[in-house]
Amino acid sequence: MERSPHSSAYGQACTHCYKAKCRCVRARSGETCDRCLRLKKRCEPSETVRRRNVHNGHNAPAASVSDRRIARLEDKVEDLLSVIQSFIGSNTRNANTANTSLVTPDSTALTFGTSSTATVSPNPDPTYLPTQYQSTPSPSSNQTDEQLEFFRARMLPSFPFLDLGPSITAGYLRQHRPFLLHAIHTVTTFSTQERLAKAEELKRLLFTSAWSNVDSNIDLLLGVLTYLAWSTDPFLGGADLVSRLMMLAISLVYDLRLFKPSSLDVQLMMAITQGRADENGHPPSETPYAFLEKQRAVLACFFLSSNVSSHLGRQDALRWTPQMGEALRVIEITNACSTDRLFISQIRLQLLKQRADDIRQQDEAGMGTENDVASAPRLLYLKTLRRQFHELRASFAPDLQQIDILNTHAQYVELYINQMGYSITHEPQSPEEFGRAGNGGVPLGFQRLECLWRSVENIKSWLDNFYTIPTANLIGQPFHFWSQMILTVTLLKYLSTLRDPDWDCQAVRNTVHLISTLDSMLQKIELTSREPELQCDDHLLKYLTKLIARCRGWAEARWNVASQTPHNAGARHHIPDLDQMAWLQSMDLGDDQWFETALGMPATFS
């Protein structure tokens, strides 16, 4: 009869358990301990080690103590590498035995240093898939969901907060992430009428789960984030819905305790070892894939809340925390997904943009003295943001996937920083200076002129990058891309018609001609509308074409009038903040009355 496992008596631990200072539990066979058996190590008694330590005594020289510490560290590193190798072998055997698609050559990997790689199963749960899903079809089979494949190939690369490798099929998502799959089906429906029907069903499922059943799970969070990222609601009178869903996503982040202070590296290592307990004796609760899935989700929630906050103005962005910084670092060092580099760059760009927004809000709250051109701390902060931006921009690898999309995002962030600089440089308001400018307002001053001209250069660069994006890639762009396009063109309109004695509108027009720009954008969007996936009359690009065409009519009607009007005529002109355009927050491109009410554009404009 086999003996029950028990801890070794004091002083009888094996060599490896003694060095690692771990409890040495003998296996049932009695010939080895559980730890050595799991690590596939030779279990040896520690008599020689104990004897060496006794001879050294307490008066051993410092060098000897240091050597022993180094030896223990080396042994721990060796243990970790052995565990990783064992984990790889275990996954390989499981794949060969069960003939599953969970671990494939295309699976993502967690890489530590240059000597070891641990394959990560795409299963988000601690256990493997049920039997009926262990032989799911490959992505090239006839059973592959076309909408999922389109989302994976044409939409997700623009905002890759999900790791949907080829081994994750529609059947897998239907079993483990049903709400996410429903959200993917919704955002890959381009007809507005058809999408509205699917969105209603999505909301019904969401409200039942989140409110009636009071559920909080990663499936709900990922589904809500997916819908928000590719939502068309902000352009069709649904800004309130987007705001509510954003608040729900933030509440799910808190309910799932994704802000819980902890060492992400320790958790990740425990998950990789698949069986090692933490220092409190608790077993790991999730796989590496599920762990990284949550880290990407909380960062995506920050990104989207920052965009919704600034573009719709209905709530504050999710506060950046040290745990988010750790999540960003863990995703970077693991490099588990080929698109993680792009995602990390997008998050860091958005963090700079959010910091600029924070300083703008502080300025609106009354920072600085009323008669200062701009307080020194704010100008220093502006310079710091610009320096950090250029350092981040220089770190972009030229071979990065979707580099054109990343460049447009970068140009918008720099544009936002420059507009923040324009808004915080407060002009003196003395009667003499106000009289010098006449009724047209206060002259801009050097700092504001510099910020505005930098903005012109940002707009030109954004447009240059926009024109290089293939039409096939424009279809799957998320909400924030089209919102940035609208804001960029709107700001160009202000800069092209700004009446100020120190501002040269003609120089702006020579650099970026507003009407020619609108014509080029219309042509680009028209070409994109011919893509096979957009063969309907009510997709988003049709509505954006309608907006740009009417903006062109507005610009053409006022183009010569603005250039011939004296600077001191009429009301004082200014450049509004990008976050304070009420017409964008109430946008409804499907309603002709909105154009006339919000923008002063008659519905019959041709």
Domain termination site, one of 56, 88, 120: 88
Instruction: Work out the pLDDT band at 129, boundaries 50, 70, 90.
Output: very low
Same domain, 81 and 138: no
Q: How many helices (H) does the chain have, and how many strands (E)?
A: 25, 2
Q: Among 172-176, 267-271, 529-533, which stretch is predicted with the lowest mean pLDDT?
A: 267-271
Tokens of 524: 């680009």
- Residue 224 pLDDT grade (very low, low, confident, very high; cuts 50, 70, 90): very high
Q: What is the 3-state secondary structure (H, E, C) of 96-128?
A: HHHCCCCCCCCCCEEEECCCEEEECCCCCCCCC
The answer to whether residue 121 sits within a structural domain is: no
Q: Letter for the amino acid at 191?
A: S
- Residue 158: count of CB within 10 angstroms of its CB: 25
Per-residue confidence band for 209, with pLDDT thresholds at 50, 70 and 90: confident
Q: What is the pLDDT of residue 47?
A: 57
Provide the residue type at 65 as one letter: V
Compute φ and ψ for 289, nearest 5 degrees.
-60, -45
Q: Of the residues 304, 319, 343, which one is the last residue of a structural domain?
A: 304
141 shares its domain with 77: no
pTM: 0.72
Q: 150 and 83, same structural domain?
A: no
Question: How open is the CA angle 90-96-102, to the nearest 5 degrees?
Answer: 75
Confidence of residue 215 (pLDDT cuts 50, 70, 90): confident
CB 539 within 8 A of CB 569: no
Q: What is the DSSP string of 490-522?
A: HHHHHHHH---TT--HHHHHHHS-HHHHHHHHH
Q: Is there a single domain that holds both residue 28 and residue 164?
A: no
**Confidence check: pLDDT of 231 > 70:** yes
Angle, helices 218-229 vs 288-312, to 10°: value is 40
Does residue 311 belong to any structural domain of this protein? Answer: no
Residue whose C-alpha is closest to residue 289's, from 127, 120, 94: 120
In terms of domains, do 415 and 467 share one? Answer: yes
Residues 267 and 389 in one domain: no
Is residue 357 in some structural domain?
no
- Quick count: other Cβ atoms within 10 Å of Cβ 472? 12
Residue bearing the bigger pLDDT, 253 or 425 = 253
Residue tagged 């970068």 (tokens): 410
Q: Which of 63, 88, 113 is the last residue of a domain?
A: 88
Confirm whether 310 is domain-assigned. no
Q: How many independent structural domains does the chain possess? A: 3
Amino acid 110: pLDDT? 34
Domain membership of residue 500 as a residue range: 364-599
**Token pair of 256, please?**
């799932």
Do 287 and 164 lie in a common domain? yes
Same domain, 382 and 250: no
Distance CA 380, CA 374 (A): 10
Does 441 lie in the same domain as 534? yes
- Residue 80 clears pLDDT 60, i.e. is over it: no
pLDDT band at 365, cuts 50/70/90? Answer: low
Asked if the model's pLDDT at residue 12 lies above 50, the reply is: yes
- pLDDT value of residue 353: 93
Flag whether 484 is in a domain: yes
Is residue 399 domain-shared with residue 299, that is, in the same domain?
A: no
Tokens 């999730």 identify what position?
A: 286
Q: What angle do CA 388, 511, 353 make, to 5 degrees?
A: 25
In a domain, 584, yes or no: yes
- For residue 139, pLDDT over 50 is answered with no
Query: For 311-327, what is the mean pLDDT?
Result: 87
Is the pLDDT reported for residue 264 higher than 80? no
pLDDT tens by residue, 379-391: 788 888 999 999 9
102: CB partners within 8 A, 6+ apart = 94, 95, 121, 122, 123, 128, 129, 134, 167
User: What pLDDT score does 513 carry?
Assistant: 93
Give the contacts of 232 (CB within 8 A, at least 6 positions apart).
192, 195, 238, 479, 540
Give the mean model confidence (pLDDT) for residues 475-504. 90
Question: Do 83 and 136 lie in a common domain?
Answer: no
Helix axes 340-364, 288-312, angle to 10 degrees: 40
What's the pLDDT score for residue 116?
33
- In this structure, of 71-80, 175-184, 438-447, the range with the lowest mean pLDDT score is 438-447
pLDDT surpasses 90 at 242: yes
Q: For position 425, what pLDDT does the model report?
A: 60
- Give the integer Cα–Cα distance in Å for 121 and 18: 33
Both 228 and 292 in one domain: the answer is: yes
How far apart are the C-alpha atoms of 90 and 442, rounded to whole Å? 73
E-state strands within 298-372: none
| pLDDT tens sequence across 556-601 | 877 765 555 554 443 446 787 777 777 778 889 988 888 888 766 5
> For residue 335, is it within any domain?
no
Q: What count of other Cβ atoms lies within 10 Å of the Cβ of residue 568?
A: 13
For 336-339, which contacts have Cβ atoms below 8 Å and span 24 or more sequence positions?
336/108, 336/109, 336/110, 336/120, 336/163, 336/288, 336/289, 336/292, 337/108, 337/160, 337/163, 337/165, 337/292, 338/108, 338/401, 339/156, 339/157, 339/160, 339/163, 339/401
309 pLDDT more than 50? yes
The pLDDT value recorded for residue 33 is 86
Angstrom CA distances, 150 to 242, 266, 425, stand at 24, 36, 46
319 belongs to a structural domain: no
Q: What is the largest distance, in Å, between two alpha-carbon atoms of the chain?
A: 104
Give the position of tokens 């927004």. Answer: 357
